[in-house]
Amino acid sequence: MIVGIDLGTTNSLVAVWRNGAPELVPNALESLLTPSVVGLDDEGRVLVGQAAKERLQTHPQLTAALFKRHMGSAHELRLGTRSFRPEELSALVLRSLKADVERRYGETVTEAVISVPAYFNDAQRKATKIAGELAGLKVERLINEPTAAALAYGLHQRDSASSFLVFDLGGGTFDVSILELFDGVMEVRASAGDNFLGGEDFDTVLVQAFVAAHANRSDMPSLTEPNIAHRLRREAERVRHALGQADSATFVLRHGSGQWEQTFTQAQLAELCAPLLVRLRTPIETALRDARIRPSELDEVLLVGGTTRMPMIRRMVAGLFGRFPSIALNPDESIALGAAVQAALKARDAALEEVVLTDVCPYTLGIEVAVSVGESTQAGHYLPIIERNCVVPVSRVKTVSTLRHHQRVVQLKIYQGESRWVKENIYLGEMDIEVPVAPAGEISIDVRFTYDNNGLLEAEALINRTGERRILVIENNPGVLDPEEVRKRLAALANLKIHPREQQVNSLLNARLERLYQESLGDLRQRLDHMANRFQQVLDTQNDRAIRELRLQLTQQLDELEQGLWR
Ligand code: AMP
Report percent pLDDT > 70 for the chain: 95
Q: Which of 101, 103, 83, 73 has its CA nearest to residue 38?
A: 83
- What is the pLDDT confidence band of residue 451, given thresholds at 50, 70 and 90? confident
Residue 433 has pLDDT above 70, yes or no: yes
Distance 273 CA to ligand 1 centre (A): 15
Mean pLDDT of 6-13: 94
Determine the Cα–Cα distance for residues 560 and 567; give it in Å rounded to an integer: 10
CA distance 477 to 122: 10
Q: Which residue has the higher pLDDT, 62 or 257?
A: 62
CA angle in degrees (0–180, nearest 5) for 381-384-385: 135
Return the residue whose CA atom lies nearest to atom 16 of ligand 1: 306
Lowest mean pLDDT of 188-192, 232-236, 502-506, name the range.
188-192
Q: What is the pTM of this model?
A: 0.82
| Residue numbers annotated as active site | 6, 68, 145, 168
Instruction: Return the percentage of the chain with pLDDT > 90, whole number.
Output: 61
Atom in ligand 1 nearest the alpha carbon of residue 33: 4
For residue 13, what are the β-bridge partners?
6
Give the mean pLDDT of 310-324. 92
Q: In this structure, which residue's CA is closest to atom 14 in ligand 1? A: 306
Tell me, what's the pLDDT at 511?
A: 96
**Bigger pLDDT: 230 or 177?**
177
pLDDT at 352: 58
- Mean pLDDT along residues 38-64: 94
- The answer, yes or no, to whether residue 550 has pLDDT greater than 70, is yes
Q: How many whole angstroms from 312 Cα to the centroid of ligand 1?
A: 13
| Minimum-distance ligand 1 atom for the alpha carbon of 306 | 8
pLDDT of residue 390: 82
Question: What b/e sequence results for 110-144 when a residue is b if at least 16 CB atoms lie within 10 Å of its CB, and e otherwise?
Answer: ebbbbbbbbbbbbbbbbbbbbbbbbbbbebbbbbb
Please name the residue whose Cα sits nearest to atom 6 of ligand 1: 171
SS (H, E, C) 31-71: CCCEECEEEECCCCCEEECHHHHHHHHHCHHHEEECHHHHC
| Residues 221, 203 contacting (CB under 8 angstroms) | no
Give the pLDDT score at 475: 55
Tell me, what's the pLDDT at 350?
Answer: 57
255 CA to centre of ligand 1 in angstroms = 26
> Are 441 and 465 in contact, with CB atoms under 8 Å apart?
no
Q: Which of 22-36, 326-340, 342-356, 366-380 has the highest mean pLDDT?
A: 22-36
Q: Pocket of ligand 1, candidates 196, 307, 313: which has the most ligand atoms within 8 Å of its Cβ, to mutate?
A: 307
Q: pLDDT at residue 443 above 90?
A: yes
pLDDT higher than 60, residue 469: yes
Q: What does the pLDDT read at residue 237? A: 94
- Report how far residue 309's alpha carbon sits from residue 313's, in angstroms, rounded to the nearest whole number: 7
Atom of ligand 1 nearest to the CA of 237: 12
* Average pLDDT of the residues of the chain: 89
